[in-house]
Chain A
Amino acid sequence: MSLENRISEIIVSRLNVKPEEVTESANLKDDLGADSLDMVDLMMDLEDTFDLKISDEEGNTLQTVGSVVSFLKTKGIEA
């Protein structure tokens, strides 16, 4: 499964949204309805799934689905 699809799956299950809503430019808070607890939950899920640490500063920069994908790629995660 591609990295994009894995991330999309996590977001769909955590935020209770439809897969087609999870576009690259979708904003996690404004478009997908995440509140601050959802964001923390999501970050922790990404940490568990991809076995890495996301600092609070890094977490704050992850506003859109696309930014999550490119952040994980900079961490060397491809799929």
Chain B
Amino acid sequence: MNLNATAVVTGAARGIGLEIAKKLISVGWTVAALDMLEDDLATAAEALGEMYKPYTVNITDSVQLKEVASAVAKELPVVKGIVNNAGITRDTLMMRMSEDQWNLVIDVNLTGAWKVTQAFMRSLIRAREGSIVSISSVVGLVGAAGQTNYAASKAGLIGMSKSLNRELAGRGITVNVVAPGFIETEMTENLPEEVRKDYLSRIPAARLGLPVEIAESVAFLMSPSAKYITGIVLPVDGGLTT
């Protein structure tokens, strides 16, 4: 099946974003894959074929984003989905955190999502349908030592989405947040063994989640089955926050 509609997915070159792209393609979306990693984008494009369209861009750069937005409008089917997935961490205790570490994480995770959403939302508004999903984190809900910057950015995504929901819900556009728990990716691969053990002891499901399990939730929220679900935060965390 081909939906003849494009989903813009940021950070889609690897990790959870790549898994989201794969899943969306499998249900018929064309994916505009936005990432800074040109090589990883090219590798993914080779593996995923026609429906995966790579665009090398830093989402903090408004000028680059504008260019990508007009290229996508010209080259791909109408944009009806936006997935704000690109995210970074710069962990350290607040007493030691530099202003640069704070700013960079807010710039990419929160302001980047705002910029990407703004760059592409008119097309959803005109189509009078579509879905926007932002990838937050359980850390945005419960906090984590060493992550004041990251948690603030992830909680910020929730406020942004809930407000945008109030602007757009009347247009048949859903705006939701998925809050992953601890997921098996490069982000969690390099955790010290004792931290990993500590995490596991706190997860009722007694395992880390898989990227594909985040992708499934995102695809569901973007599917016709979820048309009446909007403004929510969906934790996908093995019971961690419940």
A17 adjacent to chain B (CB < 8 Å): no
A26 adjacent to chain B (CB < 8 Å): no
Across the interface, which residues of B come within 8 angstroms of A41, CB to CB?
Answer: 122, 125-126
Interface string of B115-148 (1 = CB under 8 A from A): 0000000100110000000000000000000000
Across the interface, which residues of B come within 8 angstroms of A32, CB to CB?
Answer: none
A1 adjacent to chain B (CB < 8 Å): no
Q: Is the CB of A37 within 8 A of B167?
A: yes
Across the interface, which residues of B come within 8 angstroms of A12, CB to CB?
Answer: none
How far is the CB of B219 from the nearest CB of chain A, in Å?
27
B197 adjacent to chain A (CB < 8 Å): no
B196 adjacent to chain A (CB < 8 Å): no
Size band of the interface chain A makes with B: under 10
How far is the CB of A46 from the nearest CB of chain B, in Å?
14
Across the interface, which residues of B come within 8 angstroms of A37, CB to CB?
Answer: 125, 167-168, 171
A34 adjacent to chain B (CB < 8 Å): no
A44 adjacent to chain B (CB < 8 Å): yes
Interface string of A10-54 (1 = CB under 8 A from B): 000000000000000000000000010100010010000000000
A35 to B168, CA, bound (A): 12
A37 and chain B: residue at smallest CB distance = B125
How far is the CB of B185 from the nearest CB of chain A, in Å?
37
Across the interface, which residues of B come within 8 angstroms of A35, CB to CB?
Answer: 170
Across the interface, which residues of A come within 8 angstroms of B122, CB to CB?
Answer: 41, 44
A77 to B126, CA, bound (A): 26
How far is the CB of A10 from the nearest CB of chain B, in Å?
13
Across the interface, which residues of B come within 8 angstroms of A44, CB to CB?
Answer: 122
Across the interface, which residues of A come within 8 angstroms of B170, CB to CB?
Answer: 35
Across the interface, which residues of A come within 8 angstroms of B126, CB to CB?
Answer: 41
Segment 160-194 of B: residues with Cβ below 8 Å from A: 167-168, 170-171
A44 to B171, CA, bound (A): 18
Interface string of B91-135 (1 = CB under 8 A from A): 000000000000000000000000000000010011000000000
A37 to B124, CA, bound (A): 12
How far is the CB of A27 from the nearest CB of chain B, in Å?
20
Across the interface, which residues of A come within 8 angstroms of B168, CB to CB?
Answer: 37
A35 to B171, CA, bound (A): 11
A35-B170, A37-B168 are known; give 7 further A-B pairs, CB within 8 A.
A37-B125, A37-B167, A37-B171, A41-B122, A41-B125, A41-B126, A44-B122
A sample of 8 inter-chain contacts (CB < 8 A) reads A35-B170, A37-B125, A37-B168, A37-B171, A41-B122, A41-B125, A41-B126, A44-B122
In the A-B complex, the 6 residue pairs with the closest CB atoms: A37-B125, A41-B125, A41-B122, A37-B171, A37-B167, A41-B126
